[in-house]
Structure 1
């Protein structure tokens, strides 16, 4: 069973194994720390990597800064602040600091504040691409928020004059460094946003971290995120990074680069405009020809439907209708006159003999009176017979011959049989003259 390397003489470390173990241990124990000192023995390799020593009054330590992490030029005698990791250069066993970020001394607090604010705003989503507005391809109106005395503005205007002299530019002056700069930049941004430009440009030239610190303001970051107008941020030089660059809808490495981006290729735009103008002219001519054809057809139709022509046609039609109407009236009058003459002849031939008709009427009147008298006599005889028969059937006539009618006193029901009453019932008897009441004392059922 083998022992752990280095614990026994039988299993010793090798230099490379020891260096690897030291590198692993140091990297774990000193993953990230801040270190400050003075640079000396600086060497920059052809590949762009920086090798230097950092010293104070009592000691020195070797450092390496790879090209990808370099943000400012290094030179001997410079006081710097380093964010680094402890490691070992295993081929030689040299302990060194792998520098992740280098800033000038005195800027370490600013660098830490920058990282904390950057992390905070990133968590709030201010850097998210989904909330950023698109920059228009063609920009006609631009609002520049910067110092009117700055060299960056003059560089930008020179680019516009050369590449896009038609661009409308409005400058909103504001201080771009110092403690009072952020609120004034915010005010200028709000003013420019209300002017409804196509794009806004927030910019200034290069400088130290302190000079650019106004663009790392938290309130400025929120103001940039709330703008309605798309905004481009171009602060400092290529190696500078600011919060405004991260929040803006687009960032450029320098003010001049932003100017070239906004100006676009004026020559190409001019050619495109000329081509579109010619195309528009051709399309306009074609549309004019089409409209002229429509106009010609409309004029032809209008001429056909002119009121004078329509009136002439109506007059001609009215004349024809009037002639036809007169002819029809004449024909109908002649036909009606002929029928009237025929009816008059038939009426004259159909007149009756009044004397004969009067004699016949008298005869019929005499016969009618005789028949009426006969019918009256017959009806009188029949009425007498019916009255006699009715009188024989009158109950009062029957009562006059000694008969009577007995009814129950309680419900006036006629008693037809002895069984219709019981002992003690009261009855009423109708006679020819008057009524009598009685009470049943005895009943005989035959």
Structure 2
């Protein structure tokens, strides 16, 4: 072990000397707050980080401290200027002094902060989100949807415990016009790290019932600027811009519009302003309907009066025409009555002649049919005399043929001709497949029987 070595303390003292000699004080540093905590003594401890351009990986990290006395002033200054507290995720511009201690290592002591840098970074992020939505061609999609004249079936995205939600529902239900609104809450977290995912998920649940609702209302009851950052996020704005129903926002902020407001179909400041907008819109429609109804009633009354006058004029002109027509018809009937006796007598003579002719034709036809049927009966009588003897002779010939066939097919007759019959177990063998080797057979001849055992079997090919 010939190498020379120094202690850890000596090494840290050398590092501290190098840093002290470098006089790294009053340096403005840009960083992102990765973690922040305040202890019971009022000192603020921060974990400052820097990420790559994609924002996925850390490229630098350092501890920082704001001592209690300085932290009280910087905190109040930052919040009053930006409208939001110091919290994780914010990018800040701070004046630091680099300090190295042998026990605690490297620390950055923060002595000042520039709130305008943080505000500019938030505005930059908003601009980037808007530019991305515009490049994707979706930024005006929801604005181009036509908002119904009466928005009566409403999907609400809000926190169920938010005061703004309660005010909105109360104002709808107790509107002075007695208009009935149908609404359903799709609950979502409206601030914090999970707000962006929760709101996007609520829009996806509303989408499943998009055919039922007229519009979507996105509301919350106001809050600090940092609580409303989720409404500047890309995914919330993306879901609003591409949603197939008009989206109305009432986020409750007093600053400039959020990205969600800019891409929504209709933007209003507060939940109560949204409720008032929907109520007045429906009331305006009802008023228009009432006005149209009055106009229609006036038009109908005018038409009825005109038709009454027209009917009266027509009636006055119609009476003489009716009298003239009746007189013409009466004269025509009188002429017809005068001609009726002659017409009836002529018609009766004509019909009498027709009946006489029909009687003569009927008599001749009956005689002809009678003579034809007589000849037919004579023919049937002749056939009845001849048919039985012919039928009996044919039946006798058929029986003789059947008797002869039975005689020729009698086994005894076949045996006389030199044929034999072979049986196995009492069954007549009709082909070789019914006999097995070793079985006992009985062969019958005309004058006796022979019993034997099968020693071999030879099968011939099929013969036609």
Check whether TM > 0.5: no
TM norm structure 2: 0.42
TM (normalized to structure 1)?
0.43
The structure with the larger Rg is 1
